Amino acid sequence: KRPTMISAATVILEYVCPTLGALVANMMYAAPFKAIQEAVKRGTLGPLNPTPWAFSSGTSLGLIAYAFHVKNPYMLSANAPGFLMSLYFNMCAAKLRYEEVAAQKMRARMVTFLQQEGGKDGLELWKQNNEAANDPKKEQAALEALVLEKSTPSEPLPISSSHENTVVVLGTIWMILLIFVVFADLDFATKEFVLGCGANLNLLFFYAAPLSTIYTVVTTRNSAMIHIWTMIMNTANGTFWTAYGFAIWNPYIYVLNAAGVALGVVQVILLVLFPRKENPKQNRQEDPTTQQDDSDANLSNVLSA
């Protein structure tokens, strides 16, 4: 019996495309790595939008569950590393969000104190009335204690940031969904439907995240908010998985990936129509937590008075 020959189109669509898709998917998940590292060094997210990272965790977790259920190694290898990377990004984002809020309130308190005490004159008066001022070491310790006291926010800081809440909510939803799929008496097709719809719903939010960016680009006529490398990876990833999804005729794979490709094309068009213009003031308005720059300026003005 002669062996069945596999056509070149089948090889490309059913093997090459998902392999490249898995590779590009991991590159897509890793795309924000350099940006988040720079944000950690600065101590602020700045114009970075961390919301897609929260949905990235939910999307990758859902697709991992779906891959285990249908025994698809391509989908598993495409999302398992991304799930770990998204957890790291979300931890960094939550840390920076909290730090931004705390720093802003501390700077505001310090500015108020210095303004009330008269800036440098107030500090000189404090030194004259403080016995520790005669000993450099004691003076340093006393000044640090004073700064800590006066810069500590009078109101308690939020227990968690909005980004942390988003991650926890998505994680809870997926935990409930997975418990239902594992322990409910459902047939294979029903479980595939539940996992496929859940993963695609999360993927919808992940691909829809750039919509706010697209709106900002159109209204400001400035494409600086579009992260080019992420956009390229998202579009390429969607293209490979759309082709693979059509090849094996799996709507859970091709439907939203095709939508992701369309959004990527829209962003490419916007990059051409509206050239990038870096605008620090715009970035500060887009991210209110970076308003500590204003407090820094006020602090500098008070001390130089």
Look over the chain and give the mean of its residue pLDDT values, rounded to a whole number.
Answer: 75
What's the pLDDT at 85? 92
Average pLDDT of the segment spanning 49-74? 87
CA dist., res. 226 & res. 211, Å (int): 11
Q: pLDDT band for 153, please (50, 70, 90 cuts).
A: low
What's the pLDDT at 80? 93
What's the pLDDT at 288? 42
CA dist., res. 75 & res. 281, Å (int): 42
Q: Is the pLDDT of residue 1 over 70?
A: no
Cβ atoms of 225 and 286 within 8 Å: the answer is: yes
- Tokens standing for residue 92: 């960094």
The residue with greater pLDDT, 134 or 90, is 90
Average pLDDT of the segment spanning 261-281? 78
CA dist., res. 198 & res. 174, Å (int): 8
Q: Is the pLDDT of residue 23 over 60?
A: yes
Residue % of the chain over a pLDDT of 70: 67
Q: Is the pLDDT of residue 250 over 80?
A: yes
